[in-house]
Amino acid sequence: MSQLTLHQALTNLFSSERDDLLLEACLNHPDLELFLKVNQLNLSFQSLVHALTHASFSHEYQVPHQELAEFFGDAVLQLIVTQELMRLYPQEKEGRLSKLRSTIVNEKTLAIVAKSLNLQDLIFVGKGEFKKNTQSQDTVLSDSLEALMAKIYEVNGLNYTGEKFLGWLNRAVPQAFDLDQLEQFDAKSRLQERTLAKYKNLPRYLSEEISQGFKVQLWINEKLQAEGHFNSKKNGERELAQQVLIKNEF
């Protein structure tokens, strides 16, 4: 019989009463060992599980969760990306580098990197969140990647962690460090400047939480300009702004 995947093992865990043996089997699952091996990571099982444990699973099974590691990991990634930007663009203005850094160390880009590593197959979420496939949401994926980078940094230091992250990033998002990325990322600011100049008022974004994210609308001068469904309000506002800039002459 073939080995159950981690998520199949979690399904069994959630289908039973509290079973410590099933829990232990999940926390020491071979998929986790394979992830460490494939990615040649110098990291313990315990650290990996800690990084990939969502608060919802922690609350149900009393194991440490990722939140503080995620907080630390964000700072680690900010430093890694800042160093790389300084190396690539030593003559560029600070403001533009800061904006480009924000296009990289953000939910959308980090989620792409996390998906390229198949982290969604390894994240521990609680029973209710598991049913909703929360582990595949961009917010959870990006948080888990940040937590993982923090754990890698704690054991291996900055150089090793930077090499790992930049390698993953460049494979998943080859254009990540292109200055052209600023054109799309800064869409909200550019739309705000242009509508203010033309209409003497600002764009207005309305959002409504729905089962699979958010419904976001963009209004300009009391007219609905664009709308759509997105995994986060921030991403929705940015993408709608870009759509309107392309569609209209502002």
Measured CA to CA, the distance from residue 247 to residue 243 in angstroms comes to 6
Q: Are 73 and 146 in contact (CB under 8 A)?
A: yes
Distance (Å, whole) CA 106 – CA 66: 17
Q: Are 191 and 203 in contact (CB under 8 A)?
A: yes
Q: Are 121 and 7 in contact (CB under 8 A)?
A: yes
* Alpha helices (H) in the chain, listed in sequence order: 6-14, 20-27, 30-38, 45-51, 55-61, 67-88, 94-104, 107-116, 127-131, 138-172, 181-185, 187-199, 233-247
Residue 22 near residue 13, CB atoms below 8 Å:
yes
Amino acid symbol at 237: E
Count of residues making up the chain: 250
Q: Six-digit token pair at 136?
A: 């595949």
Give the active site residue among 67, 74, 121, 227. 74
Tell me the torsion sign for CA atoms 169, 171, 172, 173. Answer: positive
Instruction: Give the active site residue among 129, 138, 146, 237.
Output: 146
Residue 74 annotated as catalytic: yes
Task: Give the catalytic positions in this structure.
Answer: 74, 146
